[in-house]
Structure 1
Amino acid sequence: MTQEFSAADLQKALRQQQNEINDFAIYSVLATLQQQDKNKKIFEKIAREEQQHYKFWRGITQRELAPQNWLVMWYVLLVKLLGTSFALKSLEKKECGAEAFYKELFELYPQAKAIYHQEVHHELELIDMLQDKKLLYTGAIVLGMNDALVELTGTLSGIALAFDNTLVVGATGLIMGIAASLSMAGSAYLESKENPLQEISALSYSGYTGVSYLVTTAVLVMPFFVLDAMAAALALMFALALVAIVLYTFYISVAKGLSFTQRVLQMASITFGVALISFFIGYAVKYFLGVEV
């Protein structure tokens, strides 16, 4: 069948064929690692579909291809570290690049239309049905991280103008952050107890909340311990806060299929808006009370 293709189209077909055998191997490995029957059946179903897609391309290219083991292990590792929703939706996004090529084949190979539909719709619907515990706990991570970003950037901005010593600002922020992380963890534990979900452990939920708050605190106060200039420390703190917002929003936008730009702007506006207000409060305290350390 390769006579229907130009040399360039044949290379595209081989790349797509390689993607399909890679995806088949990834989903097959994940199926064997699953303990939940529901997830196992979904992985097996997607693996069978990917295998059929591979056979379709093999019939066109007349070539046998083997999975790229390094890529298979990479996505299995991503699933372990970041959860199934993020890793597998990242994997499926690769298929978007094949959209135009599939459409070129609709008239020549009618089966390509069904495969294309499975790739861009059905498989994502199946992934949405997976029970992803890491995604269930993102609410706890959001709670801890958002509160830390808003409260600590605001607090540090305010006391940075009230106090002229970066170490004093950093130490104050660290003490407040540790206390707040313990308080947040306790509140999250009580909240999850009052609204129990079978899939969520109250202790784990509170742990994710407290740890995410504590880690965010450590990132935000670090500039005040390594830099002597207050302006430089504040600038670095805001830069790190923005990086944290972008990284988290990228994760959640991929995992949940949400708008990346809209969420980044929303989180950044709240965080930096509170910080700006606190900055002026700190200026007022310093000006009217004459506080200077």
Structure 2
Amino acid sequence: MKRKPLSPETRSQLLVAQGNEITEYHIYKQLAEKQRDPHNAEVLSRIADDEHKHYEIWKEYTEKEVAPSKWKIWKFYWIARIFGITFGIKLMEKGEENAQVNYNEIADEIPEAKIIAKEENDHEDQLIALLEEDKLKYVGSIVLGLNDALVEILGTLAGLTFALQNTRLVALAGIITGLAGALSMSSSEYLSNKSEGNHEGAVKSAIFTGIAYVFAVVFLVVPYLLFTSPFVALIVAVIDSVLVVFLYSYYISVANDQPFRKRFWEMVILSTVVGLISFGLGYLVRIMFGIEV
């Protein structure tokens, strides 16, 4: 049976869909080839095959070959390699949602369009959920390390800034406190997992917690090594802490499909309140003990 000619609008949207499908096919294919984990390689290969199948479906209607976007392939391939395949894939899918083809309009001319699109999305979501990544498996440990460091070290730096008013001394105290805190948090996370029977993941949980803690410490202490004014350094450290919270909250919201704003503001408010309290305590200690540095 010969199909009716498509309207220019529908044809244009199908060509966009084709371009998305063939681009994502190449992204998934390249990621699958670089996977060391056979399970993840198989899942990514299956998604790539699905994307190519979708491309062929739309090609039957447009009767035209569409070239993939080399820029998108390069961009999302490297995002996935650096920040994790789940984050890279979901970020890519969110971008596609923002420029989504209107399947409701297409369905007027191609009745099965909405069904095909729903099957595509459902199957793709199921496959993405099968991916296994340490970055997401130990996200709780990373949050623990980051949150504890931001609250504890920012509070310490705020208190010492007013008590000592010397950037080098504050930086030194921050580094020592930070390293000690990282070791303490790592060992606590290790023992906590062991006590819960998670013997296999105890070491990795401890490592992820420690790395996240040290990462936050570096961001917070560096301003005290770059600026001579302790108060300017503190302001920059506060901005750094907000930036860290923003980046990590965004990462988790994309990778784990969680609300961004709630997580972001919870961590920012908590860090700010503790910092202000510590700043006030530093002022009181300086006055009470007559500290002059």
How do 1:130-279 residues align onto structure 2 when only pairs under 5 Å count? 130-197=131-198, 201-279=201-279
Amino acid at match of 1:276: L
Asked whether the 8 Å contact 2:17–2:101 carries over to 1, the reply is no
Q: Cα distance, 1:27 vs. partner?
A: 2.2
Aligned to 2:65: 64
Distance in 2 separating the partners of 1:264 and 1:71: 28
Aligned to 1:28: 29
Structure 2: gaps (5+ residues) = none
Asked whether the 8 Å contact 1:253–1:259 carries over to 2, the reply is yes
Q: CA 1:32–1:218 in structure 2 vs 1: closer, same or farther (change >3 Å)?
A: closer
Q: Cα distance, 1:98 vs. partner?
A: 4.9
SS at structure 1 position matched to 2:102: helix
Aligned to 1:4: 6
Q: Cα distance, 1:72 vs. partner?
A: 3.0
Aligned to 2:104: 103
Distance in 2 separating the partners of 1:2 and 1:186: 68
Q: CA 1:234–1:114 in structure 2 vs 1: closer, same or farther (change >3 Å)?
A: same
1:237-258, Cα deviation, whole Å (9 max, x unpaired): 1000010000011101100001
Distance in 2 separating the partners of 1:265 and 1:191: 28
Distance in 2 separating the partners of 1:2 and 1:279: 73
Q: Cα distance, 1:97 vs. partner?
A: 3.3
Asked whether the 8 Å contact 2:10–2:105 carries over to 1, the reply is no
Amino acid at match of 1:127: I
Aligned to 2:291: 291
Q: CA 1:164–1:40 in structure 2 vs 1: closer, same or farther (change >3 Å)?
A: closer
Asked whether the 8 Å contact 1:2–1:10 carries over to 2, the reply is no
How do 1:89-100 residues align onto structure 2 when only pairs under 5 Å count? 89-99=90-100
1:244-277, Cα deviation, whole Å (9 max, x unpaired): 0000111011000011111110110111111111
Amino acid at match of 1:71: K
Aligned to 1:15: 16
| TM-score, normalisation: structure 1 | 0.90
1:170-219, Cα deviation, whole Å (9 max, x unpaired): 11111111111112222222223333558x54333222221221121111
Amino acid at match of 1:53: H
State the superposition RMSD in angstroms: 2.3
Amino acid at match of 1:210: G
Q: CA 1:151–1:287 in structure 2 vs 1: closer, same or farther (change >3 Å)?
A: same
Asked whether the 8 Å contact 1:157–1:282 carries over to 2, the reply is yes
Residue correspondences, number: 291
Distance in 2 separating the partners of 1:95 and 1:102: 13
Aligned to 1:86: 87
Asked whether the 8 Å contact 2:10–2:106 carries over to 1, the reply is no
1:150-174, Cα deviation, whole Å (9 max, x unpaired): 0011111111111121211111111
Distance in 2 separating the partners of 1:27 and 1:197: 33
Quick check: 278-287 or 118-127, which moved more? 118-127
Distance in 2 separating the partners of 1:225 and 1:2: 70
Q: CA 1:187–1:125 in structure 2 vs 1: closer, same or farther (change >3 Å)?
A: same
